[in-house]
Chain A
Amino acid sequence: MVTRKRYSLKTREGKEALTGYFFLLPALLLLGVFLLYPMGAAFYYSFTDFYILRPGEKNFIGLENFQMIIGDAEFRQALRNTLYFTFLVVPIQIAVALGLALLVNKKLKLKVFFRTAYFSPVVMSLVVVSILWTFMYNPNEGLINEMLGLLGIPPQPFLTSPDQAMNSIIVMSVWQGAGFQMMIFLAGLQNIPDHLYEAADIDGANTFHKFLHVTLPGLKNISLFIFITITIAAFKLLVQPMIMTQGGPLGSTKSLVYHIYEVGFNYRDVGYASAMAVVFTVMVLTITIIQRILVKEERG
């Protein structure tokens, strides 16, 4: 049997514990007021017909909102778009981030310059980046089509084509986000002890083998962290379609969070939007848990 240590305010330890809780208090309060309480309220609203223009009449309507989600074609389209975005962005962004990290980990001249250059999109506001890329994607005067033109490729519609818009947003998102994961990978790379590489050299391993058997295993924990954070971040896609395409063309870039935002704020249907937010939260949570289980088993 485990005996629990009992704290009393009379002991030194007890006082320390109390002090500790006081230090926690501000964070807990903020978390409670701005996270837990709203989450609870959204959960409650998801069972009501809360409509912004009639704040006084919140009627309990049971599972009606959730039933509506099942028949909602816009929700399904937004879900498909979000999954498509996530399944493409996650592997591409991890690969690009790792590639960049390997590059800037070399003993290059101007190493610091390159690190800063790759990292700088991360510190830029996503709103600003989105507006800049909208200009770059412009079919008539955009930078990217000008460059394609030099290669003899005809101008592409990018954001105005239902087939290309989401992919264009994916490219821009990877460009904007990969620098951050690059820094984390870089930290991971520098934590791999040199003697492992030396041992591999003695065993006659070539660069590729070293990468496969020393570098990758050494980055395993960090990769798991990056994998999960990118996935969650990808699910929350909002700013890019909002600014670059308004969810179009033909709804091809409408993401789930954007759809929830529109229903809740533009169409004022807080009840239904809350229900979708609840479903969304459960979905992301489930996927995150599955990821953890799968990756852990692999590590065996």
Chain B
Amino acid sequence: MKRMFKTLAPLTLSVAIMAACGGEESGGETSGSDASGNSNNNADSGEQGDVVETGEAEQGVEATGDESVTLDMWIHQTGEDETDFYIKRIDEFNEVNDDIYVNAEIIIDDGASSYSDSVNAALVAGNLPDILALDGPYVASFAEADIITSVDEYITDEDREDFVDSIIQQGTYNGELFSLGAMEASVPLYYNKDIFEEEGIAAPASIEEAWTWDEFLEVAQQLTTEDRYGLNLFMNYGVGEWLTFMGAPFVWSNNGELISEDGTTVDGYLNSPETVESLEFVKTLFEEEVVSLTPGEMQFEEGNAAMALGGPWIAVSAEDADFEWGMMPYPYKEVPKSPSGSMAYGITTLSEHPEEAFEVMAWMTNEESTIGLSEVTGMPPARHSAFEAMDHYDELPWSVMRDQVTETAHARPQTPAYPVLTDAFAQAFHAAALGEDVEEILNQQVDRVERELRRFQD
């Protein structure tokens, strides 16, 4: 009975809500809200939480004998190519390793919350797998709650150094490394080469040449005409993770932070003069009407915005655009900073075989996996060696993305209060875009996050 109680627990809340109102479909968010996890495929999936067994993985080597270990693994399903690649790599792992068999389950990720709902449910029921994919900023929550285990004792120094800093930063909580990911993400400033040529504007080609905010604003104003915007910030993705992912570098590059270094408070950080100033700049972009609050899905690809601060997936969707485009580094105030973070793997504390689980994690994030995944998704790889092996990262426009990932990438804050913190920042960013009083909104949001942080202080 106790087991049943536990199993049913996660259902309770939703049903309690339904009971109050007599049944309700739950809906996913519109596409694009998952800034970091999704690559080129932002398609909405109406189904939620469906579990798809990987047919191929089943055909792998059967577990035999006493030495053989079977590991359960959960992966989020995003684009078809990306998921197929994961399945292929797991099959290869099973072929190479006689003593470890990985049983992978692909769980639908609609870009909203269905994957994390599944993880939450399994967590409460106490049946998480040995290894699971999780979004970078959520590593801290899981580490704090002792749900995932430190991999410090398994990883070699040499291997650790091959990962780009931001991936290690993303996976580290309280000085210990908990997660590794195969792909990074970044946000370059895309630009329409045809328009730039017409207007006679030279685009910076390296971090050293990156525009400051003032130059950026000036160009954006110059490029804005009656029938096109100077800039697209993809506000159509909605008030969600995207705004933190894309928007936080404005704060960091102004020497601001979202949270104190020890992670205990946001007061004096989220509402610091630096943060206020950077959101004031965002506000100016909207007041000057160089950017739209409601851009169409393909505004940049259709040539209706001259520049765009967009994810690597924009390079994929702009492939068919009928103009030449390029990438520029993210504009800055004091120090160049750029967005970072993506899905990573964690090993659960429930796992009886953490060592074997790490072998799987290492395999899924090794050079070959990293390169393969980058080729399939267009997302930048998480390893220096992969960048070196992939020729196109040596040339424009991709060299801009490489430089950002290896030099200016900044991980989002590692705090167990992240879900509330990111919503607080996204709300403030959106309020700035609406022309509200930035300082007042930030102070309100500070109260919210402080309340959440108190939960972790005992």
Contact = CB atoms under 8 A, between A and B. Distances in A.
A165 to B, nearest CB: 11
Contact of B15 (A38, A55, A249): A38
A296 to B, nearest CB: 21
B27 A126 contact: yes
A264 B14 CA distance: 9
B17 A257 contact: yes
A267 B25 contact: no
A52 interface: yes
B84 interface: no
Contact of A134 (B12, B30, B120, B448): B30
Interface stretch (B209-217, B265-273, B290-298, B371-379): B290-298
A255 B339 CA distance: 31
B142 interface: yes
A246 B293 contact: no
B426 to A, nearest CB: 9
A131 to B, nearest CB: 6
A248 interface: yes
A250 interface: yes
Nearest to A280: B20
A268 B420 CA distance: 10
A37 B145 contact: no
Interface string B440-456: 00001000100010010
Contact of B19 (A35, A238, A251): A35
B27 A284 contact: no
A98 to B, nearest CB: 22
Contacts of A208: none
Contacts of A73: 444
A144 interface: no
B287 to A, nearest CB: 15
Interface stretch (B67-75, B183-191, B403-411, B429-437): B429-437
B145 A54 contact: yes
A9 B292 CA distance: 75
A53 B142 contact: yes
Given A55-B126, A127-B28, A243-B29, A266 B145 contact: no
A37 B22 CA distance: 15
A246 B419 contact: no
A197 to B, nearest CB: 36
Interface in A267-283: 267-268, 270, 273-274, 277-278, 280-281
A47 interface: no
A73 B26 CA distance: 25
A248 B236 CA distance: 13
A17 to B, nearest CB: 29
Interface string A113-144: 00000000000011100110010001111000
Contacts of B452: 267
Contact of A53 (B10, B27, B117, B145): B145
Given A52-B123, A140-B292, A281 B15 contact: no
Contacts of A134: 30
A51 interface: yes
Interface in B297-311: none
A128 to B, nearest CB: 8
A39 interface: yes
B16 A140 contact: no
B294 A38 contact: no
B329 to A, nearest CB: 28
Interface in A240-259: 242-243, 245-251, 257
Interface string B9-50: 111111111011110111111100100000000001010000
Nearest to B20: A281
A130 B27 contact: yes
A42 B113 CA distance: 21
A103 interface: no
B155 interface: no
Provide the main secondary structure of the chain A interface: helix
Interface string A157-172: 1011010000000000
Contact of B419 (A238, A242, A261, A267): A267
Contacts of B431: 249-250
A174 interface: no
B385 interface: no
B427 interface: yes
Most buried by B among A45, A73, A160: A160
Contacts of A265: 13, 113, 116-117, 120
Interface size class of A (residues with CB under 8 A): 35 or more
B293 A160 contact: yes
A236 interface: yes
B8 interface: yes
Interface string A31-67: 0011101110111010000011111000000000000
A52 B27 CA distance: 21
Contacts of A232: 21-22
A235 interface: yes
A38 B12 contact: yes
Contacts of A278: 16
B24 A268 contact: no
Contact of A274 (B16, B113, B124): B16
A267 B434 contact: no
Contacts of B240: 246
B238 A246 contact: yes
B201 to A, nearest CB: 24
Given A232-B21, A248-B427, A284-B20, A42 B13 contact: yes
Contacts of A25: none
Contact of B21 (A33, A74, A236): A236
B419 to A, nearest CB: 5
B117 to A, nearest CB: 6
5 contacts: A41-B5, A42-B12, A53-B144, A238-B26, A257-B20
Given A239-B27, A249-B434, A270-B13, 14 more contacts: A37-B8, A38-B15, A38-B16, A39-B15, A53-B123, A53-B147, A140-B294, A160-B294, A243-B29, A246-B240, A250-B434, A265-B117, A266-B419, A267-B419
User: Closest 8 A-B residue pairs measured CB to CB?
Assistant: A236-B21, A42-B16, A53-B145, A38-B15, A281-B20, A38-B12, A127-B27, A41-B12
Interface of A: 33-35, 37-39, 41-43, 45, 51-55, 73-74, 125-127, 130-131, 134, 138-141, 157, 159-160, 162, 232-233, 235-236, 238-239, 242-243, 245-251, 257, 260-262, 264-268, 270, 273-274, 277-278, 280-281, 284
